[in-house]
């Protein structure tokens, strides 16, 4: 009789990392489908390249650093997918490849690997691309326009002002709220359709992969700040456009909720989300780019551990939680 | 679904339906092995020598300090006194008795028919009967009773049995709720509790009804039906769920004005006081997918696990673990020669299907462990800092408050061995190593 000895508990729940990542991938499908519909098959090619580079990059990094190979947990697929969705459809095909490699090797791998990286890999890579290839990351085309399958020379792209460009003026965009809600608007491939993102978000909440805390705090704070500091004739309209434009929805649902780079304490999550919102509006109002979601979330990523320490819960049987020094 | 009344917790599949809900009296085995320490505290000294004849119920080991005596569970001859593996892990000096098959008992001397005794008399009777916490903690019951004097207003009988698979307390209540209630009524009167609550989880309707049916015979005892959730049966969590109070960190239930006794312990107290019968047999669930006929047996203390397993039709081929206790907090065994002790409520036989092999555990910081921790710790960060042997952060994040319930490890999608690491961390802190 060969009996196994091990520490309790002897039974485990069904959840596993792979299943969670698969859920995120499933949740991103509506966004990917709408993105492809709006911005042609180029979107699929960009996505495949980004995902492929992320998986291969992670595999290579694990081999080189002699860490265990974890591509089976699908987290690299999620990173590749998220990065692709933050790019305009007009980018040359080397952009997603470079970005995905940077995401999995520098931000995630050197950052400590899954669960340990301080910054969201996809957003870290996007910030990197924005610095090195600014031309390519701000060229937006009309929805449902024709795009060639091959690389497009920069001068051939007829760039269009996104709703956020209008709002930077400041002026309300000439696109209807309904169009922005369903995705009939210029922008990055994964950010145009609020409804697709919300469907994915609802799926993640239903599957208990994420809670509503961070997305609601984020969107709520953008709503309040843009309402109070409205630049439009109608503060309510200004608020509605602020919520539906740019990468806010994608950021609030899929980026700010990233496990590794966000706080774990409930109250810390609320504050984190709220501050993401404040920073986003601040970047939009005062920054050189019309959008600020990427940098807002990255800055808050750096603050998550600190927020967790500040908002640590009172534990059972202690009147006030003891002060905890920083990591 | 009713709201859980304590922080966090998980809801594993109950698997209680595996066992037949009756108590089968198991014939005493040919030999019993009585460890001289079956409780939290000091080991007993043997009161008998090899070759001595002993009677059933005879005290065969006792000692000073926090020590609970042990009794012979059969009549016969002391065959050996040697170190043997105990189900708590590690070796304990044990008395081996060869059963003469006569079950000749020491004359029973009831303490009191009415139960109008003082707290000192009760504590002494409970000690002499060798009673310890039978829900698995094996804490000396005498210490609990003495410590409760003038300090408690609420008495709680713990019939939650929140661990999956185990049915021992459930069947005990179904079978003899009156005996249990007599014991509980006695405790209530002696400890002068103004409130006496029998807490049972709502997935045990038969036990609840059995207790309720007997309730009119007793005064001032209430039944609290708790929404099923693990670890409701943990003392601290049960106190919170029943009274809303919290046991102060590092404190005892009396510091929250409560005393909690497992229902089997209460029944053992009734046996000791009203019948003068010491604790030498108990109900044990032998269950799990790995055993042919899961059942609940009334077993003599000292019966080997092997004996129990054979009575249940033997192990199935794909058994990988035999556990003393439940799947969440039980201790896995290397040998089936270990005996049932006073704190053994379950012998659980798990197959590879029930306990999967974990490879390459990884924290993804999903935070699910925070949601389920009934103490509201940060398991993921404790895991990290304990791995780094960062004593300051381990203390700051209150590792010593961890009750090792395993809820965090249960939900962890990265399959971290959290509890194992926390035990190691606590040991390091106690030793002053970090």
Return the exposure string of B161-181: e unless at least 16 CB atoms fall within 10 Å of the residue's CB, then b. Answer: bbbbbbbbbbbbbbbbbebbb
- Neighbour tally for B79: CB within 10 Å: 15
Q: How far apart are CA A253 and CA A154, in angstroms?
A: 31
pLDDT 10s digits, B166-188: 999 999 999 999 999 999 999 99
Torsion of CA B282, B286, B287, B288, to 10 degrees: 120
Considering only the beta carbons, identify the residue of B356, B376, B423 that sits closest to A12. Answer: B356
Cβ-based contacts of B243 with chain A (< 8 Å): none
Q: Residue A105 has what pLDDT?
A: 95
Name the nearest CA neighbour of A244 among A174, A195, A171.
A195
Cα–Cα distance between A121 and B100 in angstroms, integer?
73
DSSP result, B183-221: HHHHHHHHTT-SEEEEEEETT-HHHHHHHHHHGGGSSSE
CB neighbour list of residue B317: distance below 8 Å, 6 or more residues apart: none
pLDDT in tens, B397-407: 999 999 999 99
CB contact under 8 A, B329 and A11: no
How much is the average pLDDT of B108-127? Answer: 91
Note the pLDDT tens digit of each residue in B38-93.
998 899 999 999 999 999 999 999 998 889 999 999 999 999 999 999 999 889 99
Q: For position B358, what pLDDT does the model report?
A: 75
A14, A213, A298, A307, B390 from A271: Cα distances, Å: 31, 9, 15, 8, 28
> Count of H helices and E strands in chain A?
14, 0
**Token pair of A323, please?**
């002060």
Q: How far apart are CA A161 and CA A290, in angstroms?
A: 10
Helix (H, G, I), strand (E, B) or coil at B258: strand
3-state secondary structure A198-213: HHHHHHHHHCCCCCCH
For A70, the closest of B247, B334, B362 (CB atoms) is B362
Structure letter (DSSP) for residue A220: H
Helices A75-85 and A121-132: crossing angle in degrees, nearest 10, is 40
Chain B closest-CA separation from residue A71 CA (Å):
12
State residue B390's pLDDT score. 95
Across chain A, which has 327 residues, the per-10-residue mean pLDDT values are 86 93 98 96 97 97 90 95 96 96 95 91 96 89 87 78 87 90 93 96 97 98 96 92 95 97 97 98 92 96 96 88 38
Closest chain A residue to B354, measured at CA: A11
Structural contact between residues A186 and A144, judged by C-beta atoms closer than 8 angstroms = no
E strand or H helix at B319: strand B319-324
Rounded CA gap, A81 and A35, in Å? 12
CA angle, B98 then B101 then B103, to 5°: 100
Q: Is A259 on the interface with B (CB under 8 A)?
A: yes
**Yes or no, beta carbons of A20 and B364 under 8 Å apart:** yes
Interface of A with B in 19-78 (CB under 8 A): 19-20, 68, 70, 73, 75
Q: Distance from B28 to chain A by nearest Cα, in Å?
A: 25
Q: Do A316 and B249 touch (CB under 8 A)?
A: yes
Question: Which residues of chain A have a CB within 8 Å of the CB of B366?
Answer: 20, 259
Q: How far is A87 from A92, CA to CA, in rounded Å?
A: 10
Contact of B349 with chain A, judged by CB distance below 8 Å, is answered with: no
Q: What is the Cα–Cα distance from A92 to A129, expressed in whole angstroms? A: 12
Percent of chain B at pLDDT > 70 equals 99
d(CA B239, CA B203): 19
Residues of B with CB below 8 A from A313's CB?
370, 376
- Give chain B positions within 8 Å (CB) of A3: 319-322, 332-336
Q: Under an 8 A CB cutoff, do B364 and A114 touch?
A: yes
Nearest to A6 among B251, B332, B411 (CB): B332
Q: What is the 8-class DSSP label of residue A91?
A: S
Residue B393 with chain A: CB contacts under 8 Å: 324-325, 327
A264 to chain B, any CB pair closer than 8 A? The answer is yes
For tokens 């009549």, the residue is B75
ipTM of the complex: 0.91
Chain A residues touching residue B258 (CB < 8 angstroms): none
Nearest to A316 among B334, B376, B396 (CB): B376
Strands B319-324 and B346-351 turn out to be antiparallel
Scored b (16 or more CB within 10 A) or e, B93-117 reads bbbbbebeeeeeebeeeebeeebeb
């Amino acid at each position: 009789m060969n009996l196994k000895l091990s520490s309790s508990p002897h039974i485990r729940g069904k959840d596993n990392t792979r299943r969670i990542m698969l859920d995120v991938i499933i949740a991103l499908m509506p966004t990917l489908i709408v993105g492809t519909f709006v911005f042609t098959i180029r979107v699929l090619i960009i996505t495949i390249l980004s995902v492929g580079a992320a998986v291969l990059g992670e595999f290579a990094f694990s081999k080189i650093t002699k860490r265990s190979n974890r591509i089976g947990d699908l987290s690299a697929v999620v990173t590749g997918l998220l990065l692709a969705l933050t790019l305009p459809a007009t980018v040359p095909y080397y952009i997603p490849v470079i970005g995905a490699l940077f995401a999995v090797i520098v931000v995630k791998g050197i950052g400590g690997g899954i669960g340990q990286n301080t910054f969201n890999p996809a957003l870290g890579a996007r910030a990197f691309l924005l610095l090195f290839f600014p031309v390519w990351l701000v060229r937006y085309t009309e929805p449902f326009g024709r795009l060639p399958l091959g690389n497009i020379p920069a001068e051939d792209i007829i760039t269009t002002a996104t709703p956020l460009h209008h709002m930077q003026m400041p002026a309300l965009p000439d696109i209807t709220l309904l169009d922005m809600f369903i995705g009939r608007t210029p922008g990055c491939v994964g950010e145009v359709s609020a409804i697709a993102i919300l469907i994915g978000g609802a799926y993640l909440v239903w599957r208990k992969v994420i809670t509503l805390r961070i997305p609601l705090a984020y969107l709520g704070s953008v709503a309040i700040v843009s309402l109070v500091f409205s630049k439009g004739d109608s503060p309510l309209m200004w608020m509605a456009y602020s919520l539906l434009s740019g990468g806010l929805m994608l950021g609030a649902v899929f980026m700010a909720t990233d496990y590794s780079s966000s706080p774990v304490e409930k109250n810390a999550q609320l504050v984190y989300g709220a501050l993401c919102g404040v920073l986003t509006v601040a970047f939009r109002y005062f920054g050189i780019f019309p959008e600020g979601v990427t940098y807002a979330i990255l800055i808050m990523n750096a603050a998550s551990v600190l927020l967790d320490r500040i908002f640590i819960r009172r534990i059972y049987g202690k009147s006030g939680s003891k002060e905890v020094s920083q990591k | 679904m009713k709201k859980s009344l304590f922080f966090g917790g998980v809801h594993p599949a109950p698997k209680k339906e595996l066992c037949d809900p009756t108590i089968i009296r198991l014939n005493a085995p040919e030999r019993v092995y009585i460890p001289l320490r079956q409780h939290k505290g000091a080991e007993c000294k043997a009161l008998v020598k090899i070759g001595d004849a002993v009677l059933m119920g005879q005290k065969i080991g006792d000692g000073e300090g926090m020590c609970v005596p042990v009794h012979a569970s059969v009549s016969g001859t002391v065959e050996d006194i040697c170190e043997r593996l105990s189900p708590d892990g590690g070796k304990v000096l044990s008395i081996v008795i060869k059963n003469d098959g006569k079950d000749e008992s020491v004359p029973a001397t009831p303490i009191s028919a009415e139960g109008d005794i003082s707290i000192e008399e009760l504590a002494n009777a409970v000690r002499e009967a060798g009673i310890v916490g039978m829900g698995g903690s094996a804490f000396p019951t005498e210490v609990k009773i003495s410590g409760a004097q003038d300090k408690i207003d609420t008495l709680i009988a713990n019939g939650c049995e929140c661990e999956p698979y185990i049915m021992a307390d459930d069947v005990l209540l179904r079978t003899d709720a009156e005996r249990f209630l007599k014991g509980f009524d006695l405790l209530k009167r002696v400890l002068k509790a103004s409130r006496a609550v029998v807490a049972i989880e709502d997935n045990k309707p038969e036990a609840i009804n059995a207790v309720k049916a007997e309730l009119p015979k007793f005064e001032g005892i209430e039944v609290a039906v708790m929404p099923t959730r693990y670890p409701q049966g943990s003392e601290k969590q049960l106190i919170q769920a029943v009274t809303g109070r919290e046991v102060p960190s590092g404190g005892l239930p009396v510091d929250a004005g409560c005393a909690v006794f497992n229902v089997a312990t209460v029944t053992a107290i009734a046996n000791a006081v009203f019948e003068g019968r010491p604790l030498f047999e108990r109900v044990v669930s032998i269950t799990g997918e790995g055993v042919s006929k899961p059942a609940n047996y009334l077993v003599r203390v000292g019966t080997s696990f092997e004996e129990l397993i054979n009575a249940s039709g033997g192990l199935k081929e794909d058994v990988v673990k035999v556990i003393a206790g439940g799947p969440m907090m039980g201790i896995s065994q290397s040998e089936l020669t270990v005996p049932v002790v006073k704190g053994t409520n379950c012998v659980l036989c798990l197959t590879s299907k029930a306990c999967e092999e974990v490879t390459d555990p990884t924290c993804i910081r999903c935070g699910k462990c925070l949601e389920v921790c009934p103490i509201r710790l940060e398991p993921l960060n404790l895991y990290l800092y304990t791995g780094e042997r960062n004593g300051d952060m381990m203390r700051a994040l209150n590792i010593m408050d961890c009750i090792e319930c395993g809820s965090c490890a249960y939900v962890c999608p990265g399959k971290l061995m959290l509890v194992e690491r926390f035990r190691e961390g606590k040991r390091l802190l106690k030793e002053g190593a970090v």
